[in-house]
Structure 1
Amino acid sequence: MRRRMVPALSLFLILILMLTGCSKRDEELAFKVDGVVEAEEVDVAAKIPGRIETIQVKEGDTVKAGQVLAYIEVKELKEKEKQAQAALEAARAQYEKAQNALLLQEKASEADLQAARAALNQAMSQYDKAKKGPRAQQVEQARAKLDQAKAALEVAEKSYQRTKQLFESGAVSQQVLDEVKAKYEAARQEMRYAEEGLNLLEEGTQEEDIRAAAAAVQQAQAALLKAEAGKIQVLIAKSAVQMAEADLKRAEAALAEVRSNLEEAAVKAPRDGVIAVKYVDEGEMIAAGMPLFTIQQPEKNWVNVKVKETLVGQIKEGQKVKVTSPNFPGKTFDGQVESIRQKPDYATQRATNERGEKDIVAYNVKVRLDHPELKAGMSVTVDFQATQEEQ
């Protein structure tokens, strides 16, 4: 019995070692995950519609940021530019005209206001003077003036009488008599004026004069209101300037838009890279937003792999990994875990145990490569186990 138990025990131990070794190898293989290389790409789209005039690159060409890739015909845009330029010049002329009209209206309005205010002040002064009547000092001055006129008349009359007698005796000529008589008549006229002036002052201002002065005040007030109403014309002129300014800005914007489109007619590379795909040919009509090229940056690449939930906990962001590809037999590339997606993916792979089949939960792990040799679309294998053992 003992001889039979020894071989059986040995066989049992060998079986355990084989199962343990297989499990370890399976785990190591499970930590090697396959994926496909991806690279950063950007589509170069047309910002304006038109016809492709020339294409400057082909697929596979290396380009620099800002390099012209294609030209779009600009014949229609050039015509639009001329029209927009003419519209801008017309809008600028209208704006300047409106500004000049506003300046003239403001000056005229201010001049009318000043003249109307001066006329009103003068009319009110005359009205106040008419209402108050003459002052006593004025009456005294008028009376003194009358006395002077009377005295001058007496002297002139005596001189005239003497000269007349001398003329009758033949002592003086007719000319001398005429001159003396003229002075006498002038003295009489001066005295009448002085009497009338004194009488007017003594009688005071007449009612009709007061009413006339009041009417003059009303007319001056009406003229002032009319002048102030001229400010409305200033406001209208200002509104015209604002409208003309708005039209000018719209014309400037329209011209700027056309010129911007002219610049966009030269389709340029937004970044360095390689022309991965060319979608159009020369002479082809395109629409705004239509992709023309795809630029790829082969030196900025990565691989997304699906890692089982039972293993993802052993992976950390920033972890170094080893990457191999059947395209480069015997060569190993370095990689680094860039991110681990928090939301799981449900893999189509299934596991079988005593309880039946169930879905395997996996998480997306992004591994940064940045090896231009590994081109987009190449299959690679990421080895997470190798770097863990090295660490």
Structure 2
Amino acid sequence: MLLESRMSDRRKTLPLLAIVAGLVVAGLIGWGFWRASRSAPEVFQGQMEAKETDIAAKIPGRIAEVLVREGDRIAAGAPILRMASPEVDAKLAQATAAQQAAQAVAKKAEAGARPQEIEMARMQWQRAETAAELARKSFDRVEGLARDGLVAAQKRDEAEANWKASRDAAVAARAQYDLARQGARGEDRAAAEAQARQVAGVVAEAQAAKAETELRSPVAGEVAKVLARAGELVPQGVAAVTVVDLADQWVVLNVREDRLSRFAVGQEFDARLPALGPQSATARFKVTYSAPLPDFATWRATRAGAGFDVRTFEVRARPLQPIAGARPGMSVLVD
């Protein structure tokens, strides 16, 4: 009797379990259809970028020493590499010598004649004055004799010509003496000073070229790339080192224009960086730039029988607060 009772209870329980299992399966199928009917959440993916500075040499030369490595943190003005340039050294030596010569000429023009030269000019003038006075007295005697008829008129004329010549020679000697005392003319001094300034400019140019043989970073940041090696020739204007400023980062998103209203300039949105781990907090960004890309996105009709090409825009947004650990190239997801 007891066995028959248990078998009867089992017959009654099996249909009930079958009904429950069927309800569970039907519920799962319904839930699956409901999930499938819902549209998947749209996710925009971009990447972080940072300000990069390509540092190039202004003069060509051979690299003597590279002072930084990739990953180094450097400050503005830090030396990056040194170059050896014999041509710059030679130009600097030539310019320095020319400057010394120009300065000597300018000093000579400013100082004027030496004291010995001035004294010689004074003595020449006095001698000419004495000779002119003697010639005048001789002429006076000859003229008196000529009036008395004791000397021929020819002799008188010769004495007069000698006196006038001596007088003019004395005037010329006085002019030479005055010129020696006054020194060089103002125009000559100005020309010598201008020449000295011109050569000083050449020296400054050579010194500037010499300073460029030690390449320094104009910005602070992290060394991202070192493209130069010791012993290589660096052409003028070719980047040798790239420095990235991690304090100046932004995210770049490619957004289709029918979704662009969410990323208008000035709007803010939240995004996350998977590379920083699940524990990283969501960062807040603000759109600062928006412009169409040169290529068209996949054509998509907006309604039956008509449509337009949906363009893609490049959107840039900067974080409102610095993101610890963020680096260029990291993916950024916007739900």
TM-based fold match above 0.5 = yes
Greater relative CO (CA pairs within 8 A, separation 6+): 1
Q: How does 1:212-291 map to 2 (within 5 A)?
A: 237-291=185-239
User: What are the ranges of 5 or more consecutive residues in structure 1 without an aligned counterpart?
Assistant: 1-13, 112-215, 384-391
90, 99, 110: which one aligns with 2:101: 90
1:350 alignment partner, one of 288, 292, 299: 299
User: How many residues end up aligned between the 2 structures?
Assistant: 246
- If the length of structure 1 is used for normalisation, what is the TM-score? 0.54
Q: Distance in 2 between matches of 1:237 and 1:70?
A: 51
The 1:64–1:57 alpha-carbon spacing in structure 2 relative to 1, beyond 3 Å, is same
Structure 2 partner of 1:373: 325
Within 2, Cα distance between the matches of 1:320 and 1:381? 14
Amino acid at match of 1:308: R
Task: Give per-residue Cα distances to partners, 1:151-209, cap 9 Å, x unaligned.
Answer: xxxxxxxxxxxxxxxxxxxxxxxxxxxxxxxxxxxxxxxxxxxxxxxxxxxxxxxxxxx
Report if aligned partners of 1:101, 1:237 keep a CA contact under 8 Å in 2.
Answer: no
Q: How far, CA to CA, are the matches of 1:265 and 1:302 in structure 2?
A: 34
Residues 65-108 of structure 1 show CA distances to partners (whole Å, capped at 9, x for unaligned) of 1111111114443333232221111001111222334999xx9x
SS of residue matched to 1:341: strand
What is the SS of the residue equivalent to 2:229? Answer: coil
State the AA in 1 paired with 2:290: R
Q: Helix, strand or coil: the match of 1:261?
A: helix
Go from structure 1 to structure 2 and tell me whether the alpha carbon gap of 1:263 and 1:382 turns closer, same or farther (over 3 Å shift). Answer: same
> Could you tell me how far apart the structure 1 residues matched to 2:296 and 2:45 are?
14
Q: Establish whether residue 364 from structure 1 lines up as the match of residue 314 from structure 2.
A: yes
Residue 341 of structure 1 corresponds to: 290
8 Å contact 2:297–2:312 — kept in the other structure?
no
Q: What is the CA–CA distance in structure 2 between the aligned matches of 1:98 and 1:35, rounded to whole Å?
A: 72
For residue 382 of structure 1, what is the aligned residue in structure 2? 334
SS in structure 2 at match of 1:72? strand
Q: Percent identity over the alignment?
A: 25
Match of 1:51 in 2: 62
Structure 2 stretches of 5 or more lacking a match?
Answer: 1-29, 123-163
Question: Larger C-alpha radius of gyration, 1 or 2?
Answer: 1
d(CA) in 1 for partners of 2:211, 2:189: 33
Task: Classify 1:344/1:278 alpha carbon distance in 2 versus 1 (closer, same or farther; 3 Å).
Answer: closer
Instruction: Quote the RMSD (CA, aligned, Å).
Output: 3.8
Whether the 8 Å contact between 1:55 and 1:282 is mirrored in structure 2 is yes
AA aligned opposite 2:98: A
315-324 or 373-382: bigger deviation? 315-324
Measured in 1, the distance between the counterparts of 2:295 and 2:94 equals 61
Q: Return the letter of the residue paired with 2:287.
A: E
8 Å contact kept, 1:340–1:363: no
**What is the rounded CA distance, in whole Å, between the counterparts of 2:297 and 2:114 in structure 1?**
82
